[in-house]
Amino acid sequence: MSLARFLFGQGKRLATLQPIPPGPRGLPLLGNTLQYTRDPLGFLTRCAREYGDVVRLTGPGRVFHLVSRPDLIEQVLRGDHRHFVKWELLRATSRVFGSGLLTSEGDLWKRQRRLANPSFSRQQVLTYADGMVDAAVRLTDTWRDGETRVVSDDMVRLTLAVVARALFGVDVGADRGTGEVLGAVLDYYGDPLNSLVLPAWLPTPAARRFRRAVQALDQFIGGLIEARRARAEEGGDLLSRLLAARDDDGTGMTDRQLRDELVTMAFAGHKTSAAALSYCLYLLAQDPKADARLAEELDAVLGGRPPTADDLPRLTYAEWVVKEALRLYPPSWGIGREALTDGELGGYFLPKGTQVLLPQYVVHRDPRWFAEPERFRPERWADDAEKRLPRCAYFPFGDGPRGCIGSHFAMTEVVLILATLAQRFRWTPVPGRRVRLVPSITLWPKPGLAMVLRRRDGALRPTGADRKG
């Protein structure tokens, strides 16, 4: 009997597999931790290019398989998805997200997904379009020609306003305290030291602010749920629709389940969309030709008026810009899974408990799938190019049954907001300012994307009132 069969008891099929994928040597106890922390994205990219499609990495008490070939990624996310759960590092966020769609598993996840699905249909998402554009118009009313702004911070405030209105029916512009509470909770997990290393019970200043914010958020959402249950009429926000959702037997979500889903969706629809918009502006600022082509499309399609949901099919180049930004800088930069059973992946034995990392950032820049992968080329998406790619060569919203439920919401939001902003302004980089990408739960630029605003020639100066006229 072979060593593999003796150790793992999986019969002839697993006995013939190679037991350990190649990978870089690490340090005792720490494994590859220091190599990763020095340059996370660069290290993962170099490992995939040097060692192949399945790479073994180690950390304190953990073994990781870095997987960067589309068919193997599809196997994990789609073909063999029942043999995997969300990985350990994401499950640690349950203090905030509870048993929402991001962290739940099994029958609970299936039920919650089934109840939430109708609220994220394409037709339902379009009902949020006017609110998305209104929030963007309000932001541009505060911008001034020639000023320097950290546009990534502006995008955080903007997408927070959109998600609070769509989810809760709350105007965070008028309720600044709510916005600060939501922002504080979400920002805590934006710091990799907090999200990946330090437990929230430690008495650090950041952890204390986090716990206070979570408590305030629970009180805020609990109050909203109580108030909505008490009134008869149904509102137009997601909370109202989730309250009305029912199983076949008439059972709805409990208050705790509603709370977990709303917090999960607030995170998924806030910082990720803010990152996507920030990278769109960043890339356009460095490519005057792409910026000019986008402006031409907006002039031709919109003629100076704000965009609406009906314009989406004709905002082709705007959509290409968004897709290309999601390729180069995917806000959800990597998907993590944990193997529930012994198995195989790419010809290698995959022991139960192995952490599997599927990095969009690495795969989206692979020259096997994308010509000139480091270049910003929105036109690469012409002629339905995405359909000609292997499945999971481009997967900014994941894939399989656990793919992002809010993908339609996100694409609608980012395209409409980009069109609204670019119709009125263009951006130029601040010279000498270096940006570092921080791959935590969301891929975020540090210290932020500062740019000089320039009003486009002939651009209207609309106010919120123009949306009603």
Whether residue 418 is predicted with pLDDT greater than 80 in this model: the reply is: yes
pLDDT(14) > 70: no
Structure tokens at 229: 């249950």
What one-character-per-residue DSSP string does 52-96 give? -SEEEEEETTEEEEEE--HHHHHIIIIITGGGEEE-HHHHTTHHH
How high is the mean pLDDT of the chain? 85
Higher pLDDT, 221 or 469: 221
Is residue 225 within 8 Å of 258, Cβ to Cβ? yes
Q: Tell me the percentage of the chain whose pLDDT exceeds 70.
A: 83
Q: What is the mean pLDDT of residues 333-354?
A: 93
Where are the domains positioned within the chain? 3-467
Task: Give the side-chain half-sphere CA count within 13 A for 236.
Answer: 11
- What is the C-alpha separation between 69 and 305, in angstroms, rounded? 44
Assign domain 3-467 to its CATH superfamily.
Cytochrome P450 (1.10.630.10)
Let me know: does 146 contact 426? Beta carbons within 8 Å: no
Q: What is the arithmetic mean of pLDDT over 377-402?
A: 96
**Tell me, what's the pLDDT at 188?**
66
C-alpha count within 13 angstroms, C-beta hemisphere, residue 84: 27
Distance CA 322, CA 413 (A): 11
pLDDT band at 121 (very low <50, low <70, confident <90, very high): confident
> What pLDDT shows up at residue 469?
39
pLDDT of 4 higher than 80:
no
Q: Give residue 1's pLDDT.
A: 35
Q: pLDDT tens across 60-104, in order?
A: 888 999 999 999 999 999 999 999 988 766 666 666 777 776 767
The pLDDT value recorded for residue 173 is: 62
Residues 6 or more apart whose Cβ sits within 8 Å of residue 124: 118, 241
Contact 364, 370 (CB under 8 A): yes
Q: Does 7 have pLDDT greater than 80? A: no
| Residue 244 near residue 118 (C-beta atoms within 8 A) | no
Structure-model confidence comparison of residues 56 and 215, the more confident one: 56
Task: State the Cα–Cα distance between residues 91 and 76, nearest whole angstrom.
Answer: 18
Selected residue with higher pLDDT from 158 and 196: 158
| pLDDT tens figures, 186-195 | 666 555 555 5
Q: What is the pLDDT of residues 444-468, one digit of tens each?
A: 998 899 999 999 875 554 444 444 4
104 against 38, higher pLDDT: 38
pLDDT band at 200; cut points 50, 70, 90:
low
Q: Could you give the C-alpha distances from 276 to 214, 326, 329, in angstroms and in order?
A: 25, 6, 8
More confident residue, 191 or 50: 50
What would the pLDDT profile of 285-336 be if each residue is shown by its tens digit?
Answer: 999 999 999 999 999 999 999 999 999 999 999 999 999 999 999 999 999 9
What pLDDT is attached to residue 351?
93
Q: Residue 269: is its pLDDT beyond 90? A: no
In sequence order, which residues have a C-beta less than 8 Å from that of residue 231 and are 6 or more positions away?
A: none
pTM: 0.88
Mean pLDDT, rounded, for 402-422: 94
Residue in the structure block whose two tokens are 């919401």: 409
